[in-house]
């Protein structure tokens, strides 16, 4: 019930903002399109938990910190993501809960330029990767497809949407990042992005707002718990 309430609240915020003054919200204008490559709360390019097939540009980096209001153990997450090349990324997260040792999650992903190889640039992006390589939480291998498009490709101010879908298998066969996962993200505010996903175990949602080109704030729900954070991006 708590998850539903928070997701509904996020959607209501977007709907309200869409009818606000033009000085705050564009009507899906190109000038209001925020960056579509974002880092997850765990340090891979993606949504909240799940990865996308997108990767940061070469030498592009992001740093983020999030707090999750878990009922039993409020958790801090600090994450980093780095584009080794335009196809290869490395990243990870540091997790801290009260009265427990910190855990380090290491991630890696490689984007396969299938469309380029086949001469079909409109094909979805495809990537393979590993979440939690060091198996501190629950190591997972995955394959993911991502496709971005405008609802009306003939209009530069048409809504931009990204759709992601993938399959993962983890070491325990339970929890997030095991089986089918996927998500959707779209520009809803002049400088904002709303994201929703199924991580293989739970529904999560997030609203990101860009204070500046390199800095964003976000609030969302992770596995039924409210969370918030901030991200700094370099060269994204």
Q: What string of DSSP letters covers 92-137?
A: EEEEE-TTS--EEEEEEEEEE-HHHHHT-TTSPEEEEEEESTT-SS
The CA–CA distances, whole Å, from 104 to 79, 91, 137, 187 equal 9, 11, 9, 32
In angstroms, how far is CA 17 from the centroid of its own chain? 21
**Token code pair at residue 69:** 């209001």
Q: Is the predicted pLDDT of residue 233 greater than 60, yes or no?
A: yes
Environment class of residue 1 by beta-carbon count within 10 Å: exposed (0-12), middle (13-18) or buried (19+)? exposed
**Token code pair at residue 105:** 């999650």
Q: Are 139 and 133 in contact (CB under 8 A)?
A: yes
Bigger pLDDT: 32 or 185?
Answer: 185
Structural domain total, the chain: 1
What pLDDT shows up at residue 113? Answer: 82
Mean per-residue pLDDT over the chain, rounded: 84
Strand partners, 127: 111, 144
**203-223 per-position pLDDT tens digit:** 999 999 989 889 999 999 999
What pLDDT shows up at residue 36? Answer: 65
Which helix (DSSP H) or strand (DSSP E) does residue 220 occupy? strand 215-222
Please compute the mean of the pLDDT values over residues 51-66 and round it to a whole number: 95
Please compute the mean of the pLDDT values over residues 6-18 and round it to a whole number: 47
CATH number of the domain at 132, please.
Answer: 2.40.160.40
Expressed as residue numbers, the domain containing 153 is 2-234
In angstroms, the CA 38 to CA 232 distance is 10
Q: Is the predicted pLDDT of residue 37 greater than 50, yes or no?
A: yes
180: Cβ contacts below 8 Å, ≥ 6 apart: 165, 166, 167, 198, 200
């Amino acid at each position: 019930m708590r998850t539903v309430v928070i997701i509904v609240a996020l959607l209501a915020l977007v709907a309200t903002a869409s009818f606000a003054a033009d000085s705050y919200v564009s009507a899906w204008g190109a000038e209001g399109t925020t960056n579509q490559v974002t880092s997850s709360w765990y340090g891979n390019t993606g949504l909240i938990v799940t990865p996308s097939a997108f990767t940061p540009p070469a030498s592009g980096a992001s740093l983020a910190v999030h707090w999750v209001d878990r009922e039993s153990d409020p958790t801090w997450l600090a994450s980093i993501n780095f584009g080794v090349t335009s196809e290869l990324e490395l990243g990870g997260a540091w997790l801290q809960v009260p009265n427990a040792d910190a855990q380090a999650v290491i991630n890696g992903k490689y984007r396969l330029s299938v469309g380029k190889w086949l001469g079909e640039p409109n094909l979805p992006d495809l990537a393979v990767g590993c979440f939690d390589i060091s198996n501190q939480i629950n190591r997972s291998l995955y394959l993911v497809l991502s496709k971005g498009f405008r609802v009306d490709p003939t209009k530069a101010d048409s809504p931009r949407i990204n759709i992601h879908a993938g399959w993962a298998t983890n070491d325990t066969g339970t929890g997030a990042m095991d089986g089918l996962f996927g998500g959707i993200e779209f520009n809803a505010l002049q400088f904002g992005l709303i994201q929703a996903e199924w991580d293989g175990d739970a529904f999560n949602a997030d609203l990101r707002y860009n204070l500046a080109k390199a800095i964003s704030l976000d609030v969302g729900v992770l596995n039924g718990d409210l969370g918030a954070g901030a991200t700094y991006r370099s060269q994204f």
